[in-house]
Chains A and B, each alone.
Chain A
Amino acid sequence: DQQVKQNSPSLSVQEGRISILNCDYTNSMFDYFLWYKKYPAEGPTFLISISSIKDKNEDGRFTVFLNKSAKHLSLHIVPSQPGDSAVYFCAASFSSGSARQLTFGSGTQLTVLP
């Protein structure tokens, strides 16, 4: 039973347009969410996070939105660039300082077309 789901395995977007990656979770106890980006032959790298006390967090071109009632989060990339082409994983955890486990979604391959 996957507690964190990314239902779109792939997404293609034109350069300069907005990319929207979606993620759903089932465990209402999760209260901290993260996005990681992964290039081929490299480990994932942290992109952005959000706590459940917020509904939006921005960092440059990247914005994460959290809808707690729908148990849904999304990552917006504006404008999209070819270098953004990668696999994006959303992950859920607990905000406690002793949080020990991270649950990942299955990932979405984003391709930004020049």
Chain B
Amino acid sequence: DTEVTQTPKHLVMGMTNKKSLKCEQHMGHRAMYWYKQKAKKPPELMFVYSYEKLSINESVPSRFSPECPNSSLLNLHLHALQPEDSALYLCASSQVALRTEAFFGQGTRLTVV
């Protein structure tokens, strides 16, 4: 199983809403990542979890709150987002420190209205 599953695939939320994105993998990877991708741009790293601990936060605004409840699951909690936060949010996983390659999910297309 080389799959990273993200839910939901699409999400529309208002600026006062609270929502969560979910990412799951069962490859035994102990590194998990959140990326943000705008149209026709490369993915931008947001957060990295290594062994369920936050190891990298790329100065992401606090309205994005990551959580890694266990080694298979990664969440991204969203609150008070702005329209400019509309983007594709990609989750990825890998062996720690990318010893092989990163496997990506299909992403959640987020629209903030």
Q: Is A bound to B?
A: no
Chain A: residues with CB nearer than 8 A to chain B? none
Chain B: residues with CB nearer than 8 A to chain A? none
